[in-house]
Amino acid sequence: GEGWKKLTFETTENLPSYLVAFAVGPWDVVNWKDIPPNSVRKTPLQLRGIAAKGQGGRMDYALEHSGEIVAALENYFDIPYPFDKLDILAAPDFAAGAMENPGLITYRDYLLFVNDDSPVGERQGYWGTHAHELAHQWFGDLVTMPWWDDIWLNEAFATWMGNKIVHQLHPEFHTDRGLMRYGMYAMGQDSLASSRRVHEPIEDYTDIDSAFDGITYAKGGAVLAMFERFVGEDDFRQAIRDYLRAHSRGNATSDDLIQSIAAHSKDAKGVAAAFHSFIDQPGVPELTVKVDCSGGMPILQLSQRRYLPLGSVVQRIEGQHWGVPLCVRYEADGKIASQCELFDKAQGEVTLDTGSCPTWVMPNADGAGYYRYTLDPKSQQQLTVAFDKLNEREQTVYAATLDAAFSAGTLDASAYLQSVPLLASSDVRDTKLAPTGQIGWMIERIAKDEKQKDALRAYGRAVYGPMLKELGIDAKDGDTDEDRRLRSALIGFLAGTAKDPVLRQELANRGRRVLGMSVGDEAGDGKLHTDAVSADQLGTVIWAASELGGKDVFDALEKHFRNTADPSIRGDLLSAMGNMDDKALTERARKLVFEKDLLRRNELAPLLGSQAGTEDDDRRAELRAWTDQHFDELAELVAPKVPRVLYMYSANMCSPEDAKDLDAKFAKRMADVEGGPRAMAQAKERIQLCSDLREAQAKHPLVIPEYKPR
């Protein structure tokens, strides 16, 4: 009839229904140059960018670099991009980060609006997210799991492959270390009694959302990286190619993948069993390693059990073990060597391939293993002395091992502080900054009074202040991405956790200039000046202005928020509004949540997240009371991700009373929502573990040492 238009589409290849997508505009459609043919794909690939009307010009960077990611993936898989076109869509109001719909991959708009001058974290975020979603075109789209218990075949693979491809294209991003850190993050969740398996049966609809967690993405990705190293990169790649070709345009299970990997290994039966041991049982293996040179040939005496934090209710299972692809590095006779073996017993030993007793042993060579370790005291001391001989990844593992000991209660706070100069001396950003989180936890949880808190802050300033002074607060020509990320982290720690008064005031002044406000005798014009500071510093200085400001700052923040469409700037402004310390202003910020058509669904997090993260107990209590009062409205806003309301309410809870309060308010609310039961169990367990660790660590005298750089 009149006014109607008929569109006829080509027949789509076999796809699961969850990957079908439509997008309704109005849109800018940017017709980009085709991705050229290569040795794998013989025809050009159509590429387009789609953004909200008027925003299409912001997609140039994302489109310009899409082709090199596609080509790198095609080269790895030796299979052409599986579809006839590639559209990437910048969605202005999208609760998920991105979704791999074939031919129409959708992203939160800010992920595709980056350029060469964007904050380094956002620019690298584009590469990581885009590579992840493009990897899904093979893992998930070309070959799909038959049921949700195998969702890790999609998400773990895209996590592992995305990091691998970005590291190949941009080694200066250090995404190999990023994947390792992501695996370490998963170990925290995997240590819980309420943790799930990577390959977890789905018995109820509430289980499906729980499967999209750190265990699936991060543990799964880390396990893949571990077995890739053990099997060998070339053989592992061939196994992946065979798997994809065998199941193209169809379904495949965990067994299908593991059989393919095992077939390309030197020990098919052992590797298959080992892989299953990591995906079919929860938990992180902890290896106890003792170096024994008493019999001539050096031997590593080994045992394994599940790692548990202090206060865990898990009952260890006698004889429980994993098939651990154990790789160690050591030095003997002045030569550094490495050795790998599959350790698949609860107890055993490994003879090192050297006739001399090693001067040190690193039980997780290259940090490639998804396991924790403890060394006998003598060997731990030897490893500490050899710290500078460890590579970048091993130094980060060394730091993570101290964190694990602290959480297990085998290392007290004073002893941990003694290790800070060593960690801070590392040239590796991840290792250098590792103590900042623990110092913050000590300030928040075990410092007995303001005097002790101030002493910990002063210690933090003594350690990290000189680093920022040397690096400089402002960007310089020749800065690497690592320089920029280190500078941002140092500023965040020193101004936030360590509360450096001079730095805080300088940042606040800069933030006021960005907001067009007066600074001393310097008048403001009321306009937003995002170019007044570097892109990396923009969010920090706006936050600092709110931290030290009052109603005048809030007024400026709100005015600019209502008049900007830029998603990154909106997030910075919202976070700052949520950060205000005044009760009336925090209430005013929360009223924005329910103002019609003001906030996007993905903008609740920066506003309410900054309130949930406050150190002020009164502000936390006010937010929790408000959340309880408005639960139904909030649940509707974030649906179907209702557990996000639980996470906000339970943030920073750390006492038995907190656990009881959470149970009373949320047990029934979470019982029948997607992901709710497990989210509730994990939130309560984390509160209990935090309380137990705080109580145990507080029993030891907190001795804050005088900082002496190495």
Catalytic residues: 133
Q: Identify whether the C-beta of residue 393 lies closer than 8 Å to the C-beta of residue 367.
A: yes
Give 112's contacts (C-beta < 8 A, 6+ positions apart): 49, 51, 58, 59, 62, 88, 90, 126, 130
The DSSP call for residue 582 is S
Give 38's contacts (C-beta < 8 A, 6+ positions apart): 71, 74, 75
Helix residue ranges, H only, 14-151: 60-64, 66-77, 109-112, 120-135
What backbone torsions phi and psi does residue 501 show, to the nearest 5 degrees?
A: -65, -40
Give 155's contacts (C-beta < 8 A, 6+ positions apart): 212, 216, 217, 220
Angle, vertex CA 211, rays to CA 206 and CA 217, nearest 5: 160
Rounded CA-CA distance 708/710 in Å is: 6
Encode 357-369 in three state secondary structure. Answer: CCCEEECCHHHCC
3-state secondary structure of 190: helix
Residue with tokens 């060579």: 365
What element of type H or E holds 590?
A: helix 583-591
Residue 408 in tokens: 């297990």
Rounded CA-CA distance 617/174 in Å is: 38
List residues bridging with 324 in a β-sheet: 343
C-alpha distances (whole Å) from 181 to each of 323, 406, 636 are: 22, 18, 34
Give 517's contacts (C-beta < 8 A, 6+ positions apart): 524, 526, 545, 552, 553, 556
List residues bridging with 290 in a β-sheet: 301
Name which of 224, 96, 84 is nearest 154 in CA terms. 224
Rounded CA-CA distance 402/198 in Å is: 26
Give 61's contacts (C-beta < 8 A, 6+ positions apart): 114, 115, 116, 118, 126
C-alpha distances (whole Å) from 624 to each of 592, 594, 609, 620, 639 are: 17, 17, 12, 6, 19
Residue 465 in tokens: 């202040």
What is the distance between the terminal CA atoms of the chain, rounded to a whole angstrom?
81
Helix residue ranges, H only, 349-449: 377-385, 392-408, 413-424, 429-445
Rounded CA-CA distance 498/444 in Å is: 12
- The distance of Cα 76 from the centroid of its chain, to the nearest Å, equals 25
C-alpha distances (whole Å) from 85 to each of 10, 479, 525, 572, 642 are: 12, 38, 48, 35, 35
Rounded CA-CA distance 589/607 in Å is: 8
Rounded CA-CA distance 54/66 in Å is: 21
Residue 647 in tokens: 């996470």
The DSSP call for residue 27 is E
Rounded CA-CA distance 135/370 in Å is: 23
**Other residues' Cβ atoms within 10 Å of the Cβ of residue 76:** 18
